[in-house]
Amino acid sequence: MRYRTRVTAPATALIGVATALTVGSAAQAAPAAASPGAETLGDPVFPSLGNDGYRVRAYALDLAYDATTRLVTATATLEILTTQALSRFSLDALGLDITSVRVAGSGADFEQVGEKLRVTPVRELPDTSTATVVVAYTADPRRSLAHTAWVPTPDGFAVCPQPNSAHTVFPCNDHPQDKAAFTFRVTVPSGLRGVASGLLVSTETLTDGRTAYTYRSREPMATELVQITVGDYIVKDRKGPGGLPLRDVVPTARASALEPALSLTAGQLSWIERRLGAFPFETYGLLPCNSDAANAFDFTGLETQTLTLYKPNFLLQDESKIGSHMMHELVHSYFGNSVSPATWADLWLNEGHADFYGLLYRYERGWTDSLGLTTMEARMKDTYARGDQWRKTSGPVASPNATNLFDSQRYLGGVLVLYALRQLIGEDAFGSVERAFLDRYRNSAATTENYITLASEVSGQDLSGFLRDWLYGTKTPRMPGHPDWTVTPATATLVAPNTRRNGHYHDNSATL
């Protein structure tokens, strides 16, 4: 079959009535004493992000949008599996007005401290047990916060959770290593459409003039990849390669104007599938959300799972201006979504691969890049010359911090690492490494070390020293096959490559 069956249980089997606590721990002579779970997963870039002591198996998000107040009333139901005996646990949550929390059908004490929602259940949760957690809350998509995923639009909203803002939309374990099944129920007034990641499984016409749309993800998803949108949209369906359902969510008034861009997706899918294998999800499409406002979000596209977010005006350009970046976002379905970064320090695996294939797509078509170059070799020679400068001002490729996480070193610097690897082991071996990595870590998360180990295994060479020098070294190594390439010496007065601003990040992709 074209699409492989997922190995995790479907959301319907995991989300149930919030009235039961199922204990699945093995018999123990002396159960460990319960204690609070840690309020971090120890991420090297975002050390306060995520929570320990449990993992989330599934989320069911039920959101209702009021077009008059422009507020969202919501319930988040989480099915968790404990990894220790818990007297208390925490979720990430910011800017949410929590009204109640229930654990295993009973009301639980809770408090909001900083960006954490601390929950104390009536009864301690045993180790390796499952429990249903239900959090009722309201949210204002227009609320000013230190950072937010909400994108208010004139007729509703969309969300852009990456990297650390999903918990401004729903309480969660907001880290990409804790992927889960998702079900979404989005209730909207007549005249609007509610859409979310995954496939539409039901549409309910309610008695009060509202409609509820339910979507379900076939594959597990990281919280930072969730998409939920409400607006005056139409959904355009078509078929992709092998019958893959394509689903675009388009502002009604601009549907005709956007059609030339939307029609490009099927051909792009065919191109990338020849290199990376069958598309890993149940559907794909674009969401040109109903806002071109400068302050809506400060990036071109965002790879929310099964539905890439764009501003409409970008997609109104000629194919040569948008096709390479559309490929960049499509590649994220493989690197970043299907295989998520185990920590945010592993971001180069996402962005380096997305730019690598996006640039290949550009140069195959003879489209000049932003530097006026037309070949990968020419672009990599230019990037190579900048290597020591970027390592001085932005750190090695696989050693980012929260300030420089999304700068050019993770994008083009990551491309340069992949180019060097391909130069060393050859194009065929490189392709085998790529496919083996995607296959082994499908529907999970992977580290930089995982990639290094697998590349050595598949290529039959010990690549650990080579790749670690490229990924963590303070000096740019020699480029295989190009002994004549030189690196410009770093100076003390250089400005770092493009970096984050205003709490988010702007575009550093070479595919633009």
CA distance 38 to 26: 23
- How much is the average pLDDT of 437-449? 98
Both tokens of residue 247?
A: 């689903």
Give mean pLDDT, residues 143-163.
96
> Does the pLDDT at position 5 exceed 90?
no
Three-state secondary structure call for residue 391: helix
SS3 per residue for 405-472: CCCHHHHHHHHHHHHHHHHHHCHHHHHHHHHHHHHHCCCEEECHHHHHHHHHHHHCCCCHHHHHHHHH
Q: What is the pLDDT of residues 277-311, one digit of tens each?
A: 999 999 999 999 988 887 787 788 999 999 999 99
Strand partners, 250: 234
How much is the average pLDDT of 244-266?
A: 97
pLDDT for the residue numbered 486:
98
Q: Is the pLDDT of residue 8 over 80?
A: no
**Contact between 92 and 115 (Cβ < 8 Å):** yes
Residue 152 has a pLDDT of 95
pLDDT in tens, 119-129: 999 999 999 99
**pLDDT greater than 60 at residue 409:** yes
- What are the tens digits of pLDDT across the range 97-111? 999 999 999 999 999
Q: What's the whole-number mean pLDDT along residues 356-371?
A: 98
pLDDT of 383 > 50? The answer is yes
**How far is CA 172 from each of CA 165, 169, 438, 455, 467, rounded to the nearest angstrom?**
10, 9, 26, 33, 34
| pLDDT for the residue numbered 293 | 83
Write down the pLDDT at residue 29: 52
**Residue-wise over 388-409: b if at least 16 C-beta within 10 A, else e?**
bbbbbbbbbbbbbeeebbbbbb
Q: Enter the pTM of the model.
A: 0.92
Instruction: Choose the weakest-confidence range: 229-243, 434-448, 492-506.
Output: 492-506
Query: Quick one: which of 275, 300, 479 has its CA closest to 364?
Result: 275
What's the pLDDT at 300?
87
